[in-house]
Structure 1
Amino acid sequence: INANDMDEAALQRFQQNQDALSSALSRLMVVVEKYPDLKANEQFRDLSSQLEGTENRIATARRDFNDAAQQYNTHRNKFPTVIVAGLAGFRERPYFTAQAGSEVAPTVDFSTEK
């Protein structure tokens, strides 16, 4: 996602998709809790590893997006650029903000003992 091409409506849709993905992953982890055999499956372990990598890439992309938006906004707001930008219709770019509480991963107990 390019910060220069993102308007507020597109960012809102992007955030909604990210929130839906986080919700789906949380539900998957709840299902896994109920099926201990699934936790021991090698394919599930591979999936868990891939999900962790995906979450890391998403966090990196969010940070890069916000860095690009901040860089754009800083440059746009410098004098005399701010005058020309205002006349030409260049607005500040919005930042990505995650859903409240999304920084805390759901607690999942992979132990087979209950």
Structure 2
Amino acid sequence: MRILWMFMLTLLLSGCGYNTFQTNDEQIKASWAEVLNQYQRRADLIPNLVNTVKGYAGHEKEVLLGVTEARAKVGGIQATPELINDPQAFARFQTAQGELTSALSRLLVVTENYPQLKADQNFRDLQAQLEGTENRVTVARNRYIKA
């Protein structure tokens, strides 16, 4: 009889653990989906930012081309929830995102040389949106890491 109770207790406790495992798995997937969403938001802001900068600093072609190429590289990677299960694809994704971040940083440094551009309201709005999105990416990544 005692063995039966031990077996039933073990069975019940293992069921509780399974539910916790499923809940944690769903939290991880939701956190990763949020990371992807914020990266996509950032990628969507880039064409407007490049076009605005191009109007004032068109001769900075190397920097503008770098941003455009980095965005294309990010867009060429299929960002799905399953991406985290493929270490090689995930590494390519992270590398592409890092290159895009670097290209955007170079672009924003170049814009410091153009006071008229910095005074443009559209550029300031785009820059604020980009900064906000970068913060959202950081928060989403931290939530993913904690999940």
Sequence identity (%)? 54
CA distance in 1, matches of 2:97, 2:140: 12
CA distance in 2, matches of 1:33, 1:23: 16
What TM-score, normalized by structure 2, do the two folds share?
0.41
Structure 1 runs of 4+ with >4 Å offset: none
| Structure 1 counterpart of 2:110, one-letter code | V
Q: Which protein has the bigger helix share?
A: 2
Structure exhibiting the larger radius of gyration computed from Cα positions:
2
Following superposition, the deviation at residue 50 of structure 1 comes to 0.4
Correspondence for 1:18: 97
* 2:108 is the alignment partner of 1:9: no
- Pick from 98, 120, 135 the counterpart of residue 41 of structure 1: 120
In structure 1, distance between residues paired with 2:136 and 2:127: 14
| Per-residue CA distance 1:47-87 (angstroms, 9 max, x = gap) | 1110111101110221122123xxxxxxxxxxxxxxxxxxx
Per the normalisation by structure 1, the TM-score is: 0.52
Unaligned runs of 5+ in 2: 1-31, 34-80
Structure 1: unaligned runs, 5 residues or longer: 69-114
In the alignment of these two chains, the number of paired residues is 67
Q: Quick one: structure 1 residues 65 and 14, their matched pair in 2 at CA, closer, same or farther if it must change by over 3 Å?
A: farther
